[in-house]
A and B are shown apart, each in its own frame.
Chain A
Amino acid sequence: MTRGNLLLTMSSVIIFRIKLVGLLGLLLIVLEGGLHIELTTMQSIGRKAAFIAVSGTTLPVLLSLAVLPRFYAFSNLEGLIAGVSLSSTAIGMAAKLMQSLDLLRTHIGKLITCAAMIDDVASLVLLAVISNTGM
Chain B
Amino acid sequence: MFLVRDTTNNIILLCFLLLVSGDGEAGAVVWAIALPIISSLTFIVISTYISFHMTSFIEKFRIRLHPNQPCGDPTNFSPVSVSDPLGALPGCDTMASTLPTQVSGDSSRSIAWDVTLIRLLLFVAVVFTGIAHYVRTTFLLGAFMAGVAFSSVPGMHESWSTHMPTVATWTARLFFASIGFTIPVRELFSVEALYFGLLLTLIAIASKVATGIFEWDDKWAIGWAMVGRGELGFVMAEEAFRNDLTSKLTYSVTVWALLLATLLSPVAFRKALSSHHQMSPEVVKSPNLSKFDNEGQVEVVAVVDSKCEKVL
Contact = CB atoms under 8 A, between A and B. Distances in A.
Interface in B187-227: 192, 196, 199-200, 203-204, 206-208, 210-212, 214-215, 218, 221-222, 225-227
A37 B226 contact: no
A78 B247 contact: yes
Nearest to A124: B141
Interface stretch (B10-18, B85-93, B164-172): B164-172
How many chain A residues sit at the interface, stated as a range, is 35 or more
The 5 A-B pairs of least Cβ separation, nearest first, read A34-B147, A90-B230, A25-B171, A22-B175, A22-B178
B44 interface: yes
Most buried by A among B160, B208, B218: B208
B175 A34 contact: no
A73 B206 CA distance: 22
B33 A30 contact: no
A121 B226 contact: no
How many chain B residues sit at the interface, stated as a range, is 35 or more
Interface stretch (B19-27, B103-111, B148-156, B282-290): B148-156
A33 B142 CA distance: 12
Contacts, number: 297
Chain B, interface SS category: helix
Given A85-B236, A127-B236, A34 B144 contact: yes
Contacts of A93: 228, 262, 265-266, 269
27 contacts: A24-B171, A25-B174, A28-B171, A31-B144, A34-B145, A34-B146, A34-B148, A36-B151, A37-B151, A38-B151, A40-B152, A52-B226, A59-B210, A60-B207, A63-B207, A67-B203, A74-B196, A78-B250, A82-B254, A108-B222, A124-B232, A128-B138, A129-B33, A129-B36, A130-B240, A131-B138, A131-B239
A132 B273 contact: no
Given A82-B200, A134-B243, 15 more contacts: A25-B175, A31-B146, A32-B164, A39-B148, A52-B214, A55-B211, A73-B192, A82-B250, A85-B254, A88-B229, A88-B230, A89-B227, A106-B307, A112-B225, A133-B29
